[in-house]
């Protein structure tokens, strides 16, 4: 699990660095040399989309996803355990539902490509499926553990 988290973290950082670097390079090359690089914006969009989905399991693992802190803080311990279990099951089911929907979308349109560079859509959909699949597994792995109240941030 530690190796997987390290790989996802490194990949997320690389994608975010690319997301910052590509538009910067595009602006510099376009303004200094008057030579825009064809399709660089499409690659930057790919990095942004993949970065979000690759980082999603890391957010779940860190317990940084949104919770209804005020509601949960008002519950007795037994009800809180039940609510955490129901929330975890619902989140895992939603993630698995997304994986199924992505698979169906890919099966219905296996040859779709982006208009400029022809990047296959399976790259986008595959990244999303990996993120949601990992999210489902992490939600299921957290079912038996109490959720940390220390990380709950409430609006004041």
**CB under 8 Å, gap of 24 or more: what pairs does 150-155 form?**
151/63, 151/64, 152/67, 152/69, 152/72, 152/73, 153/69, 154/69, 154/70, 154/73
Q: pLDDT tens digits, the chain, 156 residues: what are they?
A: 788 889 989 999 999 999 999 999 999 999 999 988 888 889 999 999 999 999 999 998 887 777 777 787 888 989 888 888 898 899 999 999 999 999 999 899 888 998 889 999 899 999 999 999 999 998 998 887 766 554 545 554
The pTM score is: 0.79
**Nearest by Cα to 124 from 139, 140, 109:** 109
Q: Over the Cα atoms of the chain, what is R_g?
A: 20
């Amino acid at each position: 699990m530690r190796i997987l988290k390290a790989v996802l973290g490194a990949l997320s950082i690389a994608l975010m660095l690319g997301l910052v670097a590509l538009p910067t390079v595009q602006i510099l090359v376009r303004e200094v040399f008057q030579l825009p690089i064809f399709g660089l914006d499409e690659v930057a969009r790919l990095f942004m989309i993949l970065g979000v989905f690759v980082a999603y399991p890391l957010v779940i693992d860190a317990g940084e996803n949104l919770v209804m802190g005020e509601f949960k803080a008002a519950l007795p311990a037994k009800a809180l355990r039940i609510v955490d279990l129901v929330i975890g099951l619902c989140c895992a089911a939603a993630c698995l539902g997304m994986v199924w929907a992505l698979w169906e979308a890919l099966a219905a349109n296996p040859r779709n490509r982006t208009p400029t560079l022809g990047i296959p859509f399976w790259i986008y959909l595959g990244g999303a499926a990996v993120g949601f699949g990992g999210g489902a597994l992490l939600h299921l792995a957290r079912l038996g553990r109490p959720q940390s109240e220390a990380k709950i941030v409430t609006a004041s």
